[in-house]
Amino acid sequence: MEIKVRAWDKKQKRMIENVGVFYSDNTAYIYKYTSPELGYVEVFVNAKYQDRFIPMLYTNCKDKNGKEIYENDIVKHPTYPEFYYKIVWYYNGFIPLGINIDNYLFCENWEELEIIGNIYENPELLKNGGKNATK
């Protein structure tokens, strides 16, 4: 299982890929590797993540285009293209919220899904309960 994290920067309204999280004095901090091949951190993001950053885990699943699916991504299913689904943690794994859970635990059948955005950069996709307004 590969552990990857990305974070939404609420202040700059942008996604930061490949971040790390560390804890000190009961506070979690987000940092960015600027030189991963050298194995050290050059730049720390200067803020407590609770105040500015929202970390999201990689699900270890990929969509039909081979794109990595993260927590809080929004996906669509080919059988139900008029509905969009948010990726969430559910008990012991990630699921597309609203799809039959038994068929989508542990990345089973996720290759049929397609990422169309995420809840931070594309919040309009989940209006009307996730129903696609263009359909």
pLDDT in tens, 12-32: 898 988 887 777 776 667 777
Q: Is the pLDDT of residue 3 over 90?
A: no
- With 0-12 / 13-18 / 19 or more C-beta atoms within 10 angstroms meaning exposed / middle / buried, residue 78 is exposed
68-70 vs 53-62, strand pairing mode: antiparallel
| CA nearest neighbour of 105 among 55, 60, 57, 68 | 60
The single residue listed with the structure tokens 């270890």 is: 60
Q: Encoding tokens for residue 46?
A: 């200067």
Instruction: Give the single-character DSSP code of 129.
Output: G
Tell me the CATH number for domain 59-130: 2.30.30.290
Q: Encoding tokens for residue 40?
A: 């050290």
The predicted structure's pLDDT at residue 10: 87
Chain segment 31-73, per-residue pLDDT in tens: 776 665 655 554 444 445 567 788 899 999 999 999 999 999 9
In the chain, where does the domain assigned CATH 2.30.30.290 lie?
A: 59-130
Q: Which residue has the higher pLDDT, 43 or 8?
A: 8
The predicted structure's pLDDT at residue 134: 40
Beta-carbon contacts of 104 under 8 Å, excluding residues fewer than 6 positions away, are: 95, 96, 110
Q: Tell me the whole-structure pTM to 2 decimals.
A: 0.79
Mean pLDDT, rounded, for 75-84: 88
